[in-house]
């Protein structure tokens, strides 16, 4: 496990996904196109140095939602920064993420429905938030192979801390795969 940039800091983790075209093109093109905009948002928001660790793009079957959705393209981003986790800062970042989603044509028509871009704040250190618009850590991140596989790809190159109380990523991913085989 690596230490953040400074001993006070914490890892911030964002999940990315898309299964509909956006103004940038097909889902994989969307995730590539949002990357520099997300990097700019994070740089401005963090107000200090941050290190970004990107996963490869991963194609996954939809989970939940209406039947017949196209497959998703997913990725993850682990951000190492000095800024301390706080409720207000997390809400501010969430607003920025939602603005990016809108810029890429995101429409919230149905729960777990198809989308042109989905940006989820998965966790920020051990910050706990329980609100309608934001729950940290994300309540299902540890149960979703489409989140775990990209995170595991990052962890293999650059280990990072998980929120307190969660088993290793490999064990979480194995558990999701064994449940889908039942």
Q: How would you write the chain as a 3-class SS string?
A: CCCCCCCCCEEEEEEEEECCCECCECHHHHHHHHHHHHHHHHHHHHCCCEEEEECCCEEECCCCCCCCCCCEEEEEEEEEECCCCCHHHHHHHHHHHHHHHHHCCCCCCCCCCCCCCEEEEEEECCCCEECCCCEECCCCHHHCHHHHHHHHHHHHHCCCCCCCCCCCHHHHHHHHHHHHCC
What is the per-residue pLDDT for 172? 93
Report the C-alpha gap between 83 and 39 in whole angstroms.
Answer: 16
Quick: pLDDT tens for 119-129.
999 999 999 99
What is the per-residue pLDDT for 126? 93
Give me the domain span that covers residue 64.
10-180
113: confidence class by pLDDT, cuts 50, 70, 90 = confident
Catalytic residue among 6, 71, 83, 120: 120
The answer to whether residue 106 is catalytic is yes
Residue 1 lies in a domain: no
Residue 3 lies in a domain: no
Mean pLDDT of 78-84: 90
What CATH number has the domain bearing residue 144? 3.30.70.560
Residue 136 lies in a domain: yes
Catalytic residue among 32, 59, 71, 118: 118
Catalytic residue among 6, 8, 48, 106: 106
Q: What is the pTM of this model?
A: 0.90
Q: How many domains does the chain have?
A: 1
Alpha helices for 18-164 (secondary structure H): 27-46, 87-103, 145-157
The answer to whether residue 115 is catalytic is yes
Residue 4 lies in a domain: no
Catalytic residue among 8, 71, 83, 115: 115
């Amino acid at each position: 496990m690596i230490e953040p940039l400074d001993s006070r800091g914490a890892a911030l983790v964002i999940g990315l996904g898309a299964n509909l075209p956006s103004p940038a093109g097909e889902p994989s093109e969307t995730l590539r196109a949002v990357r520099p905009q997300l990097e700019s948002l994070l740089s401005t928001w963090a107000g200090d140095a941050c290190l970004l660790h990107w996963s490869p793009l991963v194609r996954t079957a939809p989970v939940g939602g209406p039947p017949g959705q196209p497959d998703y393209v997913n990725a993850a981003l682990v951000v190492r920064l000095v800024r301390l986790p706080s409720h207000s800062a997390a809400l501010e970042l969430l607003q920025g993420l939602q603005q990016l989603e809108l810029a890429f044509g995101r429409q919230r028509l149905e729960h777990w429905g198809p989308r042109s871009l989905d940006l989820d704040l998965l966790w920020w250190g051990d910050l706990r938030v329980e609100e309608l618009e934001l729950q940290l850590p994300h309540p299902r991140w540890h149960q979703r192979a489409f989140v775990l596989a990209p995170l595991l790809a990052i962890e293999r190159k650059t280990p990072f801390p998980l929120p307190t109380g969660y088993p290793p990523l490999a064990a979480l991913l194995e558990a999701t795969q064994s449940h889908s085989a039942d």
